[in-house]
Amino acid sequence: MLAPVIGGGTHAIGRAVLDVIQSRRSLREEFTDEYVPTEAIDEVILSGATAPSSKNAQPWRLHVLERGQALNEIANAVQFAKEIDKFVPEDPATGLPREWGSTVAESAQVLREVGVGIFIENTGEFSNGRNSLLNSRCEATGSGLIGYGLEMIGLGAMIENMWLSAHALGLGGVFMGDILVAEEEIKQRLRFSGDLVGVLALGYTAMQPRPKILKPDSVVYHQPVGEE
């Protein structure tokens, strides 16, 4: 375990970790043909596997596809899925589309160009998956949603661990959830029954990251009670 970041070499290590975290970006373009070494993929996966999860349930299974025919076939399944232009975030209360447009076609192209796609399956350790929640009795839905949320937190931590590790190893890429437009076909091809969460698509890229624009109102600092 690292000592507190207070000086000397430890400070340099801590600063390097912070730089990796703060410089990570979603990169979708300019992937090269350079082969991603197996050793790098193994390091990325190990970092994901060591992520925290509620009850240490580790609600994930990773399906790894390197560049080739199988990944191209999944890219085709995504690109030619029905009504991809309408596959956008929706308001659950109204069913109306949110402000974001569809990026399904762009995601399919990314799958054709990257060196490796890591497809993430939620094994549903607490919730038994989305369909279980949709079909549950009303009194059980609240507990199921809490469990599902905890699964998502663990999955998010696992994905971020992999992504940061890939960035530290000189790889670029993007996490894509809109491939769920072809979820059933992808699950059949990869032979799993849990929920598809998305894919972390990684490779070597010449694309230069852009500065991150942060929401100005996303953090609120509160004074301790009784102090001004």
Phi-psi region of 207 (alpha: psi -120 to 50; beta: other; left: phi over 0): beta
CATH fit for domain 25-126+154-203, picks 3.30.1950.10, 3.40.109.10, 3.40.50.1470, 2.30.22.10? 3.40.109.10
Q: Alpha helix locations (H) across 50-182? A: 69-79, 104-113, 130-134, 138-168
> Residue 180: pLDDT above 80?
yes
For the whole model, what pTM was predicted? Answer: 0.92
CA distance 165 to 172: 10
Q: Tokens for 206?
A: 């010449």
CA distance 188 to 125: 21
Q: State what percent of residues in the chain have pLDDT above 90.
A: 85
Picking from 171, 206, 186, 187, the residue whose alpha carbon sits closest to that of residue 40 is 171
Q: Is-contact 155 120, C-beta < 8 A?
A: yes
Q: What distance lies between CA 59 and its chain's CA centroid?
A: 14
Phi-psi region of 21 (alpha: psi -120 to 50; beta: other; left: phi over 0): alpha
> Residue 213: pLDDT above 50?
yes
> Residue 140: pLDDT above 90?
no
Rg (CA), the chain: 20
With H, G, I as helix, E, B as strand and everything else as coil, classify residue 52.
coil
Strands 116-122 and 60-66: antiparallel
> Residue 227: pLDDT above 80?
no
pLDDT in tens, 3-30: 555 455 688 999 999 999 999 999 999 9
Picking from 177, 174, 175, 173, the residue whose alpha carbon sits closest to that of residue 203 is 173
> Residue 1: pLDDT above 50?
no
pLDDT in tens, 77-102: 999 999 999 999 999 999 999 999 99
Q: Enumerate the β-bridge partners of residue 119.
A: 63, 199
